[in-house]
Structure 1
């Protein structure tokens, strides 16, 4: 993926990593369109970040994805980068199904079906372009589980394997598939996490990601140094110790 000159659509970018990445990409000379459910947040972004375009989208709703994709393709026909940022993370207790089942189903809908439907909405258009990028968003927890978020871990593992598979299928096209693998980052993905001193500061994370995109334009996985502890535990042979460390607090 080139660092500049793109038209980028980022559903799920009204806060956290998505918004910070949208701002950074806009500063690098890209046209950026952010999507989200809450129109008041979209309006605020348009006011506070002139030049960033917005579209309403609920990635848990197939009809909303279809409508938003048509809107984006009509208004921004040069769109050539999709970053499937939208996701939810919920604490679950699997001892009792009534305490986790609804949460698990919502997590799968947003974190797995959402990206699948988004990719389906853009992949034919992308294949008509000389270059295009689908950037999926998994997590370090795709490779090392956090005990309290089983469904989130599972959905991010699914996104990792989906990314691997799509890359193979689309190898005969000009569409790149790049997987962004964040570690714990100081955002409001779960309540209180933005103040978690063990998580990576958001601005530091996005700055390192932008540096990796610039210096490794052909990378298949965008991995900041901090996520490699989670990503490669099994390969290093210290997986059990990594799991224990992640779940020690």
Structure 2
């Protein structure tokens, strides 16, 4: 009787484990400053059929019932920072919650960097009043404790502020034309404190740091060094997508 009970317990644990793995794929957040090369990174890994890639939902930020919140935030951050970050938090939560068939999920940024880096920056600059920060934080605490927003790995695309700013100028996105170098430099320091020094907020997953200063012509070699870790290859061998 005891052996039967042990077998049933083992089967139940196995089913629970399998269910957990199905509900929560190996989830990687790709973090870094503006202009750190996140799109290039995601494009590299998007060729594998067992990887689901989620870019930042910028188009949603540009059209929330007809309002370009991203543009409004850049033009008048003191007025629109709270509105913008509230919507960012909602859309990033949806990214975390999207169900996929693939065993690996790569996300461009996360609900954590939205709070730990961007709300932090707005708070320091006085662009978001303390009561507004408190409301954002209460929602963040509730969501991350009650919903599955867990990360298995963070990939930090580490760039110097100078390189990041040069790339921003070259790509010339309309909303970014007014972004000063000082903003990029300060945002770099916040990322460093969060992901490198681990002195700011909570780093809730292991971190891999990539040298994202490298030119596009050689950056893929840097990606390939870390593919086994990024894609959890011990459990899910890679297969190239067919087009």
Taking CA–CA contacts closer than 8 Å with sequence separation of 6 or more, which of the two structures ends up with the larger relative contact order?
2
Q: Give the TM bin, normalised by the shorter chain.
A: 0.3 to 0.5
Question: With structure 2 as the length reference, what TM-score do the two structures score?
Answer: 0.42
Give the greater-gyration-radius structure (CA). 2
